[in-house]
A and B are shown apart, each in its own frame.
Chain A
Amino acid sequence: MIIDHPLLGPRDISEFIYLGDASLLNRPKWDAEDAEHSFYEYLYLRKNVAGVHKELWFHQQGDRSWLVISRNTLTHEITKVDLVGNHSKNMEILND
């Protein structure tokens, strides 16, 4: 796969490290009533989408930026690449 980095252009996937579902950006509140349960869900449970999956990649062998990538898990087609920074203002990124 080639990832079209928003700042650096097309880069080979071997430069990147995969973290997982982009919902990991949505860290639960530590002091909420149901924090114990929310952290269990946050840490262990996944939608494991078959289709377009929003996910976190780290450009370890490059500019060390974190990216949110929309990629189809059935075809490996990447439709959107964005810096995490552009996203944290907008929590609409999560997989449903």
Chain B
Amino acid sequence: MVTDPAGLVMKLDRRYFLTLVSAAIGSPVLAVGENSSDTTALFLSAASDSDDQHWVIGFELVDGKSAEKFRHLLPARAHHIAVHEALGVFVVIARRPGNYLWVGDLHSGEPLAEITVPVDRHLYGHGVFSEDGRHFYAPENAWQLINGDSGRVVAWQVSRDSQGFSMVRAGDFPSYGTGPHELLLKPDQNTLVVANGGIRTHPERPREKLNIPSMEPSLVYMDAVTGELQEQHMLDAEYHQASIRHIDQNASGQVVIGMQYEGEPFDSAPLLALHEQGKPLQLLWAPEPQQGQMKQYIGSVRYDRSGRFFAASSPRGNMISFWDVATGEMKKSLRSRDGCGLCAIEQGFLFTAGSGRITQYDLVRDEIEALNTGSDGKVFWDNHLSMIAR
């Protein structure tokens, strides 16, 4: 027989894990996020409702409840929301193959602008601001290029002043691959890290994957100003169908990668990896049965505030797993029906689910709290959750 799967919920060396977590969270050296209290944080997510309307929703946490601050109707389904605190704006990025960027005011939630990309392009649902707020970067598909690498990274010049808000296309670079998805700016603000999913799609067949047998995902480091390629990392040939889709980084610039495997459902394939620039990819495996329960699909990855742990959501497997970066080991898994959106908060993570649930997990106390979502009408939270401390 193979491994005994009787331990359906990961049995941890709980004391060891909690000691590690307490030490990490208490260490200011490792702090990644803002230190202000989450009671004043604003969380943002795209969501849909049962009438197939699509929204951007901002909410706060108040006394163990989510308190909705605003919601606005969107032209179509969205994916991720990029925020910039100093500018006081958020940008909702259309889900593939959408073409809009919907800009709102962080404080009022009111719309500031709706921008569309050129007709021969579409977005991939992700984008990121530079730290100074002067630039915004988003991957696009130059879908008319049906043979070569159609992935692009577009740099936008951003300004918000007394004249209003503006975003202007300022640079258009190759992503050095196909199907670029999530991207981020390294802490030095000079280098973009791009997850090229490797999957070719076409807006006329919007959800169809056209090149699964030959797909070549990659993790790319490129100059944020010139677009010049710095590094490109591929998976071994046997794992070429593991689409590199979602990434996050900690303060030291280490990148965590979440993948979606397009091969057979029973194949043993990596779904997570860590990477430091200049080094090879470090593939991570959960023990069974958790690896199998991920159903070959990671929907989002986020570091905790210490940067020593990360969470990975598996909405198809209804599971969120928590990992220790130092050892590369999964330390805990939690059931979360259709859970996908992740956000680091004080002491742990907040996660949202397609079921409409919002749940808080305290890493230090190892406690889960399902938040009362009030009576604002049920929504299905989309894949990603963003936060800004106010």
Partners in one complex: no
Partner-B contacts on A (CB < 8 A): none
